[in-house]
């Protein structure tokens, strides 16, 4: 789909399940992932949405669960972290965590040695390695070259995902769509219609899953083609759309930030 399309009406009444990416969707990107902060208003909005949906709200993110909990503290939600390699299926439940394999640790050491002193942030997330080049966009090509070359020496089962301002190396089973499907098989999600908001290429798998389930897929600030069926221009628009559909303003008009 294209980003320039007709406005679409507000969501109809129904039993919805809401899945949310974080960076670039709920929060503006920063040069370093730890540079972002969560406002009290956003925490309150998410708490309100969770209550309105009877708990059928989950983060689907590339961040680790521990990092998300620090960021949103004291709020805890259901969550799939590391693209579904980690899960917390209930807000107060146990975390199914993922460790850093030795071969991934060695690769991260090598890449840090070359790039970390050049305004590139190498983020080690267990079995996922993320190289953030937002502060040094001219090094994105080199970062991509390094992780693509590493595929030949790593065990089979890894893939490279290029993002808007960086590149990630992760296991094939790290897929947001699989994480969404897992939640949809559990209460309180089962029997509901899924909605997923994301902003990056790593979210496309989630859009495809939601589309196949007859749900609503929304890409925030889309760049080029996407499998998402709707688009929102920016983070501010995404938050306004969530408020209009699921927050205090859910009974009012004003859901026209969403375009097909």
Active site residues: 21
> Residues 33, 37, 200, CA angle at the centre, nearest 5°?
50
For residue 23 the two structure tokens come to 């960076």
In this structure, what is the dihedral angle of CA atoms 87, 74, 244, 164, given to the nearest 10 degrees? -60
Q: Identify the residue whose tokens are 């992760």.
A: 170
CA distances from 222 to 112, 165, 195 (A): 30, 14, 17
Q: How are beta strands 16-20 and 121-125 bridged, if at all? A: unpaired
106 close to 97: Cβ distance less than 8 angstroms: no
Residue 182 CA to residue 178 CA, distance in Å, equals 6
């Amino acid at each position: 789909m294209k980003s320039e399309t007709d406005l679409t009406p507000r969501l109809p009444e129904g039993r919805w399940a809401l899945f949310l990416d974080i960076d670039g969707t709920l929060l503006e990107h920063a040069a370093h992932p730890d540079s972002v902060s969560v406002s009290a208003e956003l925490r309150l909005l998410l708490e309100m949405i969770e209550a309105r949906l009877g708990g059928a709200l989950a983060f689907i993110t590339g961040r680790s669960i521990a990092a998300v909990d620090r960021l949103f503290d004291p709020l805890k939600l259901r969550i799939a972290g590391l693209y579904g390699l980690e899960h917390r299926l209930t807000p107060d439940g146990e975390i199914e965590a993922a460790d850093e394999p030795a071969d991934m640790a060695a690769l991260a050491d090598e890449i840090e040695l070359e790039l970390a002193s050049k305004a590139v942030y190498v983020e080690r997330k267990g079995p996922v390695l993320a190289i953030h080049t937002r502060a040094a966009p001219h090094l994105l090509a080199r970062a991509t070259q390094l992780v693509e070359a590493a595929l030949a020496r790593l065990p089979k089962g890894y893939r490279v995902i290029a993002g808007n301002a960086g590149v990630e190396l992760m296991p094939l089973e790290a897929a947001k769509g699989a994480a969404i499907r897992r939640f949809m098989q559990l209460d309180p999600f089962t029997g509901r219609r899924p909605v997923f908001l994301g902003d990056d290429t790593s979210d496309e798998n989630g859009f495809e899953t939601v589309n196949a389930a007859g749900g609503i897929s929304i890409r925030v600030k889309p760049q080029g083609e996407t499998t998402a069926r709707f688009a929102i221009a920016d983070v501010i628009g995404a938050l306004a759309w969530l408020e209009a559909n699921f927050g205090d303003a859910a009974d009012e008009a004003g859901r026209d930030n969403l375009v097909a």
